Amino acid sequence: PRSREVLEILAWEVAKRGRGLIPQDLGNIVWAYATAGIRNREMMQAIAAEAVRKVRRFTAQDLANCSWGFGKLDICCDELMTALADEMTHRMGKLEPQHMSTTAWAHARLCFVHPEFLAAVAEAATEAAGRFDARGVSNLLWASGVLVLRSEALVRAMVGRAGCLAPRLTAQEISSAALGIRLLDQPELLCQFLESVVPLFYNFRSPGDGPHWVTFANVVRSAVRYGQECWGSAQLESHFRQLLLNPVTRALEKVALDNTLSISDALASLQIMFDAINVPCFGEFYTREVLCGLRLDDASRSGTPPKWVVEARKSCLEASAGRWRVPSSDGIMAFASWEVCCERTAYLNPGKVYWTSWADEALNSAKELLQPLQHVKREMHAEYVALMELFDELGRSGSSEEALRTCEGSIFVYVSHCPCISCLGVFCQVLRRCPNVALRVTCDDAWTTRCGHPRDLPPVGRERPLRGVQDEEWHQVLRVCVKK
């Protein structure tokens, strides 16, 4: 805490004295603040301006440090990122593998696309594949998937290198690489990669490995679903269910359905389970399975989405306005509508888009009715904010807990990304408190879609208009640049 205070104070001095800093200072400062997770935009803007002016004096490590730091802090300055990428493209023959992979990771984190840099990295990294370490392979495969860099030669070389490094790969490195290959829609190479790492994944059982288990299990499930089953996939799924999915599902069912337990006791049990496994959500396939098991999601079972889902996706897509981003709490949206009758009073919401925000104005009594798990910012999630609006209305009209049990009607909730376990718990509380209200919840996976539509690619530099993933002109640009 003390060091954070010092860094916050120093940030203002750096912002004022940026012109006197040499390139190494700029790179080191960005690295230090990114490592500490301190986002001071004024300082970063000052550093960006200085870095653009002095970029030709940067070492390769300074260039990579700056790129990584801005990516880690999720601060995108197009002018800076373009200048750094231009310089690295010019020096590509002198870059080390870690410089390429670190910078590619930063570009993907910021959804910043520089075609010439990507093309140069694809060629250079393919030739130097044998020099990449485990983290470099993982970062480059993940970045390729996020940025839709379709260089089969690069992916094949990195998958081959990953096979050689398999015993050294961490759970995070395996799951990130697998996700990247999946996003590139390379089933043959994905299966080749999975066969080399699935048998090793059982060894990862530390509390911090939970999120990586979720990512990896969903990638394996996607491969099986599309006919690319690999050796060990069934055993891995069974292990994932036993280790993570089934215990949490049972805890959620207690909140929703077990009338022998008070809601507070059921939530306490869910909280203990959540703290033990350290998993934020269950990912695309398993979240839908849980929703279906709780009889919340009937949309995923039908081939054609219901009208309300089509409307929800369209509304969220229009409201998002910008471009596709790497999924994060701040960028996830919800669309909710309801028609609920309680004690002869009708509560109507024809449909509205909700963003991440605080439900500060809601009555404390309403917050007691829908309690998120005790974790960072779970009470800010868009789907929670939407339901809190309804329950706040009910509370302000004087509806008691007994009255809620007599409510009738329907609630529809769409989420642009897989709801977290805390929000699944909130849905279960709605089921328990309002047993005569039909709650329907469905979601998309923001890694693979943008509100149910194809991911759009980010602009290249500052001038390029927004493009879609299927845009032929964009792929022609990369085909010209990338030597396969």
User: Per-residue pLDDT tens for 261-305?
Assistant: 999 999 999 999 999 888 999 999 999 999 999 999 877 766 789
pLDDT-based confidence at 102, cuts 50/70/90? very high
pTM for the structure as a whole = 0.88
pLDDT at 52 over 60: yes
What is the C-alpha separation between 192 and 228, in angstroms, rounded? 10
Proportion of the chain above pLDDT 70, given as a percent: 92
Position 1 pLDDT exceeds 60: no
What pLDDT, on a 0 to 100 scale, did the predictor assign at position 265?
Answer: 96
Task: Write down the pLDDT at residue 216.
Answer: 97
What would the two tokens of residue 216 be?
């990896």
What mean pLDDT value characterizes the chain?
89
Condensed to tens digits (0 to 9), the pLDDT of residues 232-260 reads: 889 999 999 999 999 999 999 999 999 99
| The predicted structure's pLDDT at residue 26 | 93
List, in order of start, the domains of the chain with CATH numbers: 1-225 (1.25.40), 280-454 (no CATH)
Measured distance CA(279)–CA(288) in Å, rounded: 16
**Position 338 pLDDT exceeds 70:** yes
φ, ψ of residue 203 to 5 degrees: the values are -75, -15
**Confidence at residue 478, expressed as pLDDT on a 0 to 100 scale:** 43
Task: Please check the confidence at residue 482 and state whether its pLDDT lies above 60.
Answer: no
Q: How many CB atoms lie within 10 A of CB 195?
A: 15
Token pair recorded at residue 287: 């979240």
Higher per-residue pLDDT: 353 or 298: 353
Q: List 437's β-bridge partners, or say none.
A: 409
pLDDT at position 378: 59
Candidate ranges 3-17, 21-35, 121-135, 388-402; pick with highest mean pLDDT: 121-135
* pLDDT at residue 459 greater than cutoff 60: no
